[in-house]
Amino acid sequence: MGFDRGSISFRLFYLSSSLGPSVVERFAEHAAPPIESLSTEPIQGWVTGRHLLDTRLTEESCVMGGYLHANLMRAERKIPEALLRAHCRLEEEIQMRARQTENLPRAARTEIRDELMAQLRSKMPPTLTGIPVAIDFRNDRVFAGALSDAQIERFAPAFRQATGIMPVELNSETAALKRKQVNMRDIHPESFSPDPLVAPDENVHLGMDFLTWLWWRWETEGGTFHREKGGAAYGMMLEGPLTFFREGKGAHETLLRKGSPLDSREAGIALLSGKRLKRTKFVLAQGDALWSVTLDADFAFRGVRLPKGEQIDASGRFQERMLHIETLVETVLSFYDRFLEQRASAGEWKKVIASMRAWVAKRAGV
């Protein structure tokens, strides 16, 4: 799904300089080639946010309010693995009978597979995939549905080719440096476990520290807050499933998903063993409006669900959804700012650690 409908998953990227609506012309210069030109090799290029075959990139079709909405489309001919295996097996049986043998050398099987892939690929229908992109002109940033490393490696160079600017991925490290001038190299590892035998991880991961801190903050300070002084009251909470992680010996990752993971003793035991929260569901509410997202420690926003909109026309709906997305993102980042302020203050962080260890001990029943 794109940013104009349904749930959406994305990462946030910062831009080193501003882009104006005239950038649409540069995207148009790198528009996707006609689908009819697809042969055996994949093709890639930019299309509008409307659908993956709309290559008419203009201000009218792409720019709505302070945003540009587009897709990085990729078309390729894929052979279903089950179909390829069946054809390979059929050809292998033919060759085994011809050679009067019950086994073929690996080199022969590889050759059969390569030849069949070349033959079958040209007969396959095109498979289209897209990475939705929304450029926020006001804040010089990009929302992109590029979650995996492979998708980021596709998106970032293509964006730079079109705009001349390499987008900088927002993660726990880059956000700390950009927003609060906190360098991860200046942060010492810390364990939230009250068990003195549990040593801190050698590697600092601000994202997992943040999610664990956010859980502690919600349970100890409550879920009501104001995003700005004198502004409307918001509510927040965390929900399962919960994913915990710790480098080292034994089980590195623990997933709690059934029942009430947040209230379970298993969650307390995971924290007691030195694991930190790697992924959780974050819920935000304001009046009748409700947001939800599965938030990763590396700041990937997955399965974002937004409040029901009131706008009827396509442009109005898109802008309304983007404002809802910004509300969610800014709320998460405002909590991250507060976490960084405490994490960078030796005196304040010492108090936080003491409180968090007592919280972990209570949860684990020790």
Most confident of 102-111, 289-298, 307-316: 289-298
Distance of alpha carbon 300 from alpha carbon 283, whole angstroms: 15
Helix 206-221 × helix 346-364 angle, to 10°: 70
Collapse the DSSP code of 345 into the 3-class scheme (helix H, G, I; strand E, B; otherwise coil) and give the result: coil
Question: Mean per-residue pLDDT for 162-179?
Answer: 95
Binned at pLDDT 50, 70 and 90, residue 249 comes out as low
Q: What is the pLDDT of residues 40-53, one digit of tens each?
A: 889 999 999 999 99
pLDDT of residue 207: 95
Distance of alpha carbon 230 from alpha carbon 305, whole angstroms: 27
Question: Mean per-residue pLDDT for 200-219?
Answer: 91
Q: Which two tokens stand for residue 254?
A: 């623990």
- DSSP string spanning 104-151? --HHHHHHHHHHHHHHHHTTSPEEEEEEEEEEETTTTEEEE---SHHH
CA dist 55 → 30, 128, 145, 318 (Å):
10, 14, 19, 19
Question: Domain ranges in the chain?
Answer: 8-78+124-169, 81-121, 176-364
CB contact at 8 A, 281 and 240: yes
CA dist 363 → 108, 273, 318 (Å):
59, 12, 43
Distance of alpha carbon 366 from alpha carbon 282, whole angstroms: 28
Question: Mean per-residue pLDDT for 62-82?
Answer: 94
CB contact at 8 A, 20 and 137: yes
Distance of alpha carbon 138 from alpha carbon 149, whole angstroms: 27
Residue 251 has pLDDT above 80, yes or no: no
